[in-house]
Amino acid sequence: MKKSVLSLSVVAVLLVACSRATPPEEPVRAVKVITVGGGALSSRHEYAGEVRARVESRLGFRVGGKIIKRQAELGQRVRAGQVLAELDPQDYRLAADAARAQLAAAAANRNLAAADYRRYKELKDQNFISGAELERRDATFRAAQAQFEQAQSQLAVQGNQAGYAVLTADVSGVVTAIDAEPGQVVAAGVSVVRIAADGVRDVVFSVPEDKVAAIKLGAPVTMRAWAQVADLPGKVREVAASSDPVTRTYPVKVSIDAREPPPLGATVNVVLEGAGLGGVPVIKLPTSALRQDGQATAVWVLDKASMTVRSQVIQIATADGNEAVVAAGLQPGMLVVGAGVHVLSPGQKVTIYQSKVQGVQNLRPLAATDSIANSVPVPVASAASAASAK
């Protein structure tokens, strides 16, 4: 009886042991790797600019008054001398009439003083008057002559004032803005119409403070308007000495070397090409490959012999867009994990990820300068894949 009970206990223990499932093995992750290589630090920067006339004038009346007529319209092409707007000229006409009357009075006084001087000179020649009396008549004549010349100048000024009540275009061009309307009272010098002069065009764009020092006068620039296909060559013509008080950026002007430049106001993509970091090769990695290891920056380096990863501390010199420039810690030829670095651990076994498009073809190692913008995130092997492998 005891033997049968003991046999049943052994069988029960064996059954319980067999019923326990074997724990699944940790899945092997597939990682996208980057082959470290040297390259030049690119200083290629792109900005959005606007086509503007090199000469753009804000035209206003040289005298104040009420606008009674505006002939210019937004977008209208005007020629030099064409009337753009007019002020109420009544007050200036009255002032010109008053100046004309003053001139007539001054002319009469001058003529009278001149006649008196001639008569007194004849009397002096006959010794009927003293020399002092003749000098007084001469002084009177000179004063009348000066008043006459003053009245002439005043009439010319008032005539000009009346003429300034008509605003005309200084140059031929296109009306780009209207700043005042009929019925509005404006002061002298206030902008009424803005005109972009015909001729040379510029592309104007803004550069942040940390990039403006790298832009040199005369540097070549490649531009492309959004509405055009062909590239436009140009050169940096002007770099502002001070920043914009609102945006804190520096305006830069580029001259367009083209017979048919884009239209005014067109948006242009400006590309500034520069040299590398003194021509010295540098190692660049995408920022997705970086991770924090305590207080240091590190990457995962793949040991191809054991297919395991280890942490490698690196030093970052600077950033170039979405890439980091490595100052120390890596050598050309190393394999670095390019994405999904936060799910790995030291010594973990991995496989090199191959996309479905590649199929059975060998994976071309990515250079450190390759972009990962179109890469697929690091896939994680599922339990179903592990089960199917069994």
Residues 363, 353: Cα–Cα separation, whole Å? 8
Which structural domains are found in the chain, ordered by start?
Answer: 29-43+279-389 (2.40.420.20), 49-88+165-274 (2.40.50.100), 90-160 (1.10.287)
Share of the chain above pLDDT 70, in %: 79
Distance between CA atoms of 190 and 130, rounded to whole angstroms? 61
Q: What is the DSSP letter of 71?
A: -
Which pLDDT does position 176 carry in this prediction?
A: 92
What are the tens digits of pLDDT across the range 63-107? 999 999 999 999 999 999 999 999 999 999 999 999 999 999 999
Task: Report, as an integer, the average pLDDT of 122-140.
Answer: 87
pLDDT band at 359 (very low <50, low <70, confident <90, very high): very low
- Mean pLDDT over each residue of the chain, to the nearest integer: 81
Q: Which residues is 195 bridged to in the sheet?
A: 57, 175
CA–CA dist 257, 235 (Å, integer): 8
pLDDT above 70 for 361: no
Block residue for tokens 């070549």: 220
% of residues, the chain, pLDDT over 90: 42
Between CA 165 and CA 84 the distance in angstroms is 11
pLDDT digits (tens, 9 = 90+) for 267-300: 999 988 654 444 456 788 888 889 988 889 999 9
What's the pLDDT band for 178 if we cut at 50, 70, 90?
very high
Nearest to 282 by CA among 336, 320, 312: 320
Q: Please answer whether residues 351 and 31 qualify as being in contact, where contact means their C-beta atoms are separated by less than 8 angstroms.
A: yes
Look up tokens 């999904």; give the residue. Answer: 340
- What average pLDDT score do residues 136-158 get? 93
Q: Mean pLDDT, to the nearest integer, of 42-66?
A: 88
Per the CB < 8 A criterion, the answer to whether 254 and 237 are in contact is: yes
The residue that leads in pLDDT, 102 or 16, is 102
- Of 170, 5, 157, 190, nearest to 81 by C-alpha is 170
Distance separating alpha carbons of residues 134 and 128, to the nearest angstrom: 11
Provide φ and ψ at 162, rounded to 5°: -65, -35
When pLDDT is averaged across residues 215-233 and rounded to a whole number, the result is 84
User: Distances from the Cα of 58 to the Cαs of 61, 73, 171, 189, 324, in angstroms?
Assistant: 10, 15, 12, 9, 47
Q: Is 51 helix (H, G, I), strand (E, B) or coil?
A: strand
